[in-house]
Amino acid sequence: MPSFTKGGGTTTPFGNREYLRSTRGKKVESYTLAGATVPAKTIDGAAGQKILQKGTVLAKITSGPDAGKVGPRQAGATDGRQTLTNIVGLCDTFLPWQLIERDVEVGATYECVAVQGWCVELAADGSEVVLPDATADAMRGTKGLDILFK
């Protein structure tokens, strides 16, 4: 007879984060994401795990060995990702482990209707923070980037 047994809660759940209010009119561009720009975390006792969620703000890297690629916008970065004018969009690709091994192609949404409270960027210490108003304002109606936040 079919049955279901709920897990004992021994693992930290994570999954694909939603960030869009609507998919109508969504436009996406492809970029190479530098795996070194995503901070490693310890998840369920396993150190060195890298997870990039959808809705993470992505910015161009303008200096260093990964110049020309993108990475999560991070306050305090020194490679260009800290600059608001280098933002290319919101990550539209969920990467649960691939960044541990290599750089990966990602989609960056540059035109859409998103929920600001569901989008994130990285603080100086590498932790995720809810998208602040200053960053959201920089993503509205600029050349090549038009994200409406609801």
Query: Are the C-beta atoms of residues 91 and 110 closer than 8 Å to each other?
Result: no
In a domain, 25, yes or no: yes
Is a pLDDT exceeding 90 seen at residue 95? yes
* Residue 65 domain-assigned (yes or no): yes
The reported pTM is 0.91
Domain total of the chain:
1
Over residues 26-41, the mean pLDDT reads 96
Domain containing residue 74: 20-149
Nearest to 86 by CA among 67, 105, 100: 67
pLDDT score, position 130:
97
For residue 13, what pLDDT band results from cuts at 50, 70 and 90?
confident
- Measured over the CA atoms of residue 27, residue 30, residue 31 and residue 37, the dihedral's sign is positive
Q: Taking a C-beta distance cutoff of 8 angstroms, is the pair 87, 138 a contact?
A: yes
Q: Tell me whether residue 88 is in a domain.
A: yes
**Domain annotation covers residue 12:** no
Domain contains 71: yes
Residue 139 lies in a domain: yes
In this predicted structure, what is the pLDDT of residue 141? 86
Across the range 95-108, mean pLDDT stands at: 95
pLDDT per residue as tens digits for the range 46-60: 899 999 999 999 999
The first and second tokens of residue 116, run together, are: 């600001």
